[in-house]
Structures are given as structure tokens and as C-alpha cells.
Amino acid sequence: MSETSSDTNYTNKRLKTSSSETTRHDDDEDQNWVNNLPEPFVRFLRENDISIEIYQTHENLPRYARIVQYHPDHYTKEYAQKIVKGLRDQMKCGVELVQSFPSFLKLDHNCGPLSQSQVYLDCNVLGMSLSSAIPVYALDIQPNDHILDLCSAPGTKMLLMCESLIKAWREQSPLPYKEPKSHLDCADEYGNGTVTAVEIEKHRAESCRSRIKKANFVVSSRVRLYNTDGTRFNVPPPNKDWWDVKAMRRWKEEGRELSKDKDTKRLPGSKAINSFVKSTNISQLPWYSPKPLRSEFSLGNNGLYDKVIVDAECTHDASLPHIKKYKDWGWDKLATQVVNPDRIKEICNLQIRLLENGWRLLAPGGIIVYSTCTFAAAQNEQIVWWFLKRHPKEAVLEPIPCVENIPYMMPKLPPGIDPDDASGVLGKLKHCVRLDPRVSDTKGMFVARIRKVSTD
């Protein structure tokens, strides 16, 4: 027994030593991955005046999470502190509320997976970078806004927009809160604002659908999801009375009888509107939504959206965790799939078409937010500058109201601008915001907010 015990202890000691060596090796790799970036990507950084030092900040950047909010009790400081304490106790790391963004939590960079905490498993928090929330807050969402999200995956912004609609309504409602029991009740307690989410890639649309299904029905009651091309999307916002069964019945009594489609997917909703699910204009039916937002009555609107967000496809070079993943996926893929010159041209063309279509669907007086997770001026300031020149009378670049307490970088000069014109161009782009990990303590993000001024 004594020899066996001794051998076991020796084996355990060897295993621990090996594990420690492996950990040190992994730590070294984590620190050195920036030095292994492929030459085509380094050249992309150099050509776009992007400092490689940005990527060396990755290991020490804090992580962020967001408190899920859909009930009046969720807006209190006491509730937020309860969530903070729960995460601290369960994750054994530093957790604090973010100044000026009380629904956001800042976690130490060495915290374990959020998904292992009970607070997360109870759906009280979800992982979301603070930088990803800035485009949503830039919309300045108001009660009953109809919002169009043209590039919705993976869906975290989509859910934040839904919750922002709920909060905006509750903050201005004089009525005492009454717990809703169905999708239709939600409009009484939270207003009739909606989010129309569009995603072209099927697997990414499925990610959005998964988030909608996991969300509380108060949140999911006001979002409809389309699996289609955002550059060609042409569905107007829902009828302002989309939730009102009495209005539906009056509409039907006026002679606009609906055809029924027995094959139409039956989604959660009130039985009172089963006969309003339609088949005649299948192109306007959402890919996924609660039943009230699938009815022909809800689609009977020729209006425009109050707010539009274009979180456009880009080279993703400002998302440091995304770039680091290519260490495992293969650096060659980063060179061929991300910073390939032909691919970048396609991306810029796509960004322009998305912005133009979002503008076409935006109501006069409305706001469109253009955002990317790239540091490249060709995909940021140059797109905005081109757009402002194309719409000189209607498009007005505005300050972003939610960044007063976040350090950020000033805009860069778009490529190809004559040096003599530089100061004038930068002056007109002064309201564009660049979040840079070196100063913002977040992942990188570019955000521009443009108002559509009526020319009548």
C-alpha cells in the first residue's frame, strides 16, 4: 500500500506539473498571438492606419454583461445590486455596474464563463459588449417607435431594442402596472412599438430566432424576424393597432375579409386572431414572429419606420475576440476571407446599399444609425461622407447622446480626400464616434447617427 500511495502521489505531482506547464504555455500563446498575425492582415492594418498595439490590449479588456429588463422592478437600483452580488458570489470575480449605463455590468477580464452562473441560467443577464449597445442607445428609442434592424444577427441588439421600447413606455405611462397574460396584453402595459429584424443568412437568422424564443414573452411579443436580404427588404412597419382585436374585427366587418391558410405556421398568440393570419401576400409574412404580427391586419400599413439601425457587415477587425479566434480557425482564413481586397470592395458596396435601403424606409424626422466593428475609415467615415454628399438636404449628422462618459477617438479622414479639404471634411464628420480599446475599455466600434430632415 505504501508503494502504491507513493506512486500515486508521484503521478499526481507529475500531472499537476504538466498542467501548470500547459497553463503557462497557453498564457504565453495568449500573449503572443498578436505577433503571429498573418502578413496580409498586418498589411491591411498598415494600409488603413490601424495600430497593431490595439490588439495587445485584448487580454486585459474587461468583459461585459447586461441585466435583462422587462418588468418595472428590473429598473431599480436594488434589483441591479442584487444581480451584481449574485454574479460576484457565483463567479468569484469583480463585478460592478457601469456608470451611465445602469443595466450593464463590467466583469474582470479573468472571470470564468458567464454561462456557468445561476444568474445567467435564470435568464437574468446575458453577455453583451457595451460597445455593441451604443448603436442602440444612439437611436434614442421612444414609446411606440417602430424600429427596423437591417442586419440583426446575432440578436443581442434586437433584444435590447425591444427592452428599450418597454422601458420607454413604462417611464411615461401614468397607469399603474398590470401583469400582462398574453402577447396582446403587452401593448396595454408596454405600448405598441415593434422591432422588425432582418437577417439574410439562414443560420444567423436561426440564432436570432433562438434568442427570441428564450426571451420573456413580454419582450418577444413585439419583434418579427425576416430571413431575407436587407438591401432589398421592402415591408412597411406594422399597423399601429396591430395588437387591438377590436380594431381587427372592425377592419374585417368593413368588408376586407381575409383568406385563411391552413398551412400557415401557428405561432403563440390569441385564438381571437387565428382567422386574421393570411396567405395572399406571403412575401410580407415574417419568417418568425408572434401571431399578432403575422396577421394581414398588422401588415395593412404603408407607413415608414421611426428608427432604423444598420449594423453593417464589415471586416470585423475592431472585434478583438473575433480576430483572435482565427488562431484556432486558421490564420490563412483571416487573410483570404476577411482582408481579401476583392472581399473588402464587396463589403463597402454592401454597406452603401444597406444604408440606402434603410434610408428609403425611414420616415421624415426619423433617425438612422450606421455602425460597424471595423477601424477602417474606408468602411466608416468614407461611407458616411459619401452618404451625406448624396443626400445634402435631407441627411443631418447628429451628436450621439449616450457617449458623454465614455472616452472615444475622433473620426479619421476618409481615404482620397484632398489635404486642403481635410479640416472641412473632418468638421462635418465630427459627430462620428470611434470606440477604441486603448481609451474606451471596450471592443472597437464605429457609430454615426443621421436624422432624416423633411424637405417639404
pLDDT band at residue 291 using 50, 70 and 90 as cut-offs = confident
CB 310 within 8 A of CB 371: yes
- DSSP letter, residue 442: S
Judged by average pLDDT, the poorest of 10-14, 195-199, 226-230, 382-386 is 10-14
At residue 407, the pLDDT reads: 93
Judged by average pLDDT, the poorest of 67-76, 96-105, 273-282, 334-343 is 273-282
pLDDT band at residue 189 using 50, 70 and 90 as cut-offs = confident
Does residue 278 surpass a pLDDT of 70? no
What is the identity of the amino acid at 60? Answer: N
Q: Where are the alpha helices (DSSP H) in 306-390?
A: 320-324, 326-329, 331-333, 341-360, 381-390
Annotated binding-site members for S-adenosyl-L-methionine: 199, 229, 311
Whole-number percent of the chain with pLDDT over 70:
85
At residue 29, the pLDDT reads: 52
151, 373, 402, 432: the catalytic one is 373
pLDDT band at residue 283 using 50, 70 and 90 as cut-offs = low
Rounded mean pLDDT, 15-31: 43
Nearest residue to 195 (alpha-carbon basis) of 136, 249, 244, 241: 136
Rounded mean pLDDT, 34-43: 93
Q: Give Cβ neighbours of residue 155 (< 8 Å, ≥ 6 apart).
A: 197, 207, 208, 210, 211, 212
At residue 296, the pLDDT reads: 79
Q: Which residue has the cell 504565453?
A: 28
Q: Give Cβ neighbours of residue 436 (< 8 Å, ≥ 6 apart).
A: 54, 375, 408, 409, 444
At residue 178, the pLDDT reads: 79
Annotated binding-site members: 199, 229, 311
pLDDT tens track for 404-414:
889 999 999 99
Does residue 10 surpass a pLDDT of 60? no
Does residue 269 surpass a pLDDT of 70? no
pLDDT tens track for 378-398:
999 999 999 999 999 999 999
Longest dimension (CA), the chain: 94
User: Is 93 a catalytic site residue?
Assistant: no
pLDDT band at residue 255 using 50, 70 and 90 as cut-offs = low
Rounded mean pLDDT, 46-68: 94
Identify which has the larger pLDDT, 28 or 40.
Answer: 40
DSSP 124-178: SEEE--HHHHHHHHHT---TT-EEEESS-TT-HHHHHHHHHHHHHHHHH--SPP-
Using the CB atoms, write b or e for 210-225: b if 16+ within 10 Å: ebbeebebbbbbbbbb
pLDDT tens track for 69-124:
988 899 999 999 999 999 999 999 999 999 889 899 999 999 999 999 999 999 99
Q: In what order do the strands lie in the sheet with 95-98?
A: 95-98, 101-107, 63-67, 125-127
Identify which has the larger pLDDT, 299 or 211.
Answer: 211
Does residue 11 surpass a pLDDT of 50? no
At residue 281, the pLDDT reads: 53
Rounded mean pLDDT, 423-442: 96
What is the identity of the amino acid at 225? Answer: L
CB 345 within 8 A of CB 434: no
Judged by average pLDDT, the poorest of 126-140, 164-178, 278-292, 363-377 is 278-292
- State the cell numbers at 352: 452603401
Q: Strands 194-198 and 146-149: what pairing?
A: parallel
pTM of the full predicted structure?
A: 0.87
Does residue 26 surpass a pLDDT of 60? no
Q: Give Cβ neighbours of residue 232 (< 8 Å, ≥ 6 apart).
A: 357
- DSSP letter, residue 450: E
- Cβ–Cβ contacts within 10 Å for residue 45, how many? 18
Identify which has the larger pLDDT, 69 or 277.
Answer: 69
At residue 234, the pLDDT reads: 94
